[in-house]
Amino acid sequence: MAPYLDEARIDDEDAIAALDSHQTLRGLATAGAQVREAIDLSAEGGVSRVAGGERPRSVLVASLGGSAVVCDVLDLLAEPGSPVPVSVRRNVPLPGWVGPLDLVIAVSQSGRAAGPLALAAEAARRGASLLTVGAADSPLADVAAQARGVHIDIGRGRSTSRTALWSLLAPVLLAAGELGIVDVGERVLLEAADRLDEVAEACRPSSESFVNPAKVLAADLAEGVPVILGDGPLNGVAAGRAASMLARTSRVPAISGELPDDAAQIVACFDGPFTTAYGASAAARGGSGFGNDGGSDIFTDPFLDGPASPRLGLLMLRDAAPDPMTREGAESAALADAVAEAAREAGARVSEVVAQPGHPLTRLAGQLATTDFAATYLALGLGLDPAVSPHVSDLRRRTGR
Instruction: Find the mean pLDDT for residues 298-322.
Output: 76
Strands 150-153 and 129-134, by their bridges, are: parallel
Residue 295 has pLDDT above 60, yes or no: no
CA–CA distance, 327 with 102 (Å, rounded to integer)? 38
CA–CA distance, 315 with 340 (Å, rounded to integer)? 9
Residue 8, exposed/middle/buried by CB under 10 A (0-12, 13-18, 19+)? exposed
Count Cβ neighbours within 10 Å for each residue of 225-262 and write b for 16 or more, e otherwise: bbbbbbbbbbbbbbbbbbbbbbebbbbbebbbbbbeeb
| Radius of gyration over every alpha carbon of the chain, rounded to an integer in angstroms | 22
| Residue 125 to residues 104, 116, 118, 283, 360, Cα–Cα distance (Å) | 12, 14, 11, 65, 36
At residue 222, the 3 state secondary structure works out as: coil
Residue 56 has pLDDT above 80, yes or no: yes
The distance from CA 150 to its chain's CA centroid, rounded to whole angstroms, is 26
Q: Apex CA 47: angle with CA 52 and CA 150, to 5°?
A: 70
pLDDT score recorded for residue 283: 55
pLDDT mean across residues, the chain: 91
Q: 328-339 pLDDT, tens per residue? A: 999 999 999 999
pLDDT score recorded for residue 293: 41
Domain architecture of the chain: domains with CATH: 7-16+203-274+310-390 (3.40.50.10490), 24-195 (3.40.50.10490)
Instruction: Find the mean pLDDT for residues 365-384.
Output: 98
Residue 350 has pLDDT above 70, yes or no: yes
Residue with the larger pLDDT of the pair 384 and 392:
384
CA–CA distance, 195 with 14 (Å, rounded to integer)? 27
Q: Give yes or no for a contact between 224 and 292, defined as CB atoms under 8 angstroms apart.
A: no
Question: Dihedrals φ, ψ of 331, to 5°?
Answer: -65, -40
Question: Band of the pLDDT at 285, cuts 50, 70, 90?
Answer: low
Instruction: Find the mean pLDDT for residues 335-348.
Output: 95
Instruction: Find the mean pLDDT for residues 375-399.
Output: 93
CA–CA distance, 353 with 217 (Å, rounded to integer)? 9
Question: Band of the pLDDT at 161, cuts 50, 70, 90?
Answer: confident
Residue with the larger pLDDT of the pair 161 and 351:
351
CA–CA distance, 106 with 393 (Å, rounded to integer)? 25
Question: Dihedrals φ, ψ of 395, to 5°?
Answer: -65, -40
Q: Apex CA 103: angle with CA 98 and CA 106, to 5°?
A: 100
Residue 232 has pLDDT above 60, yes or no: yes
pLDDT score recorded for residue 303: 58
Instruction: Find the mean pLDDT for residues 90-94.
Output: 88
Percentage of the chain exceeding pLDDT 90: 79
pLDDT score recorded for residue 264: 93
Instruction: Find the mean pLDDT for residues 371-391.
Output: 96
Q: 114-136 pLDDT, tens per residue? A: 999 999 999 999 999 999 999 99
**Residue type at position 351:** S
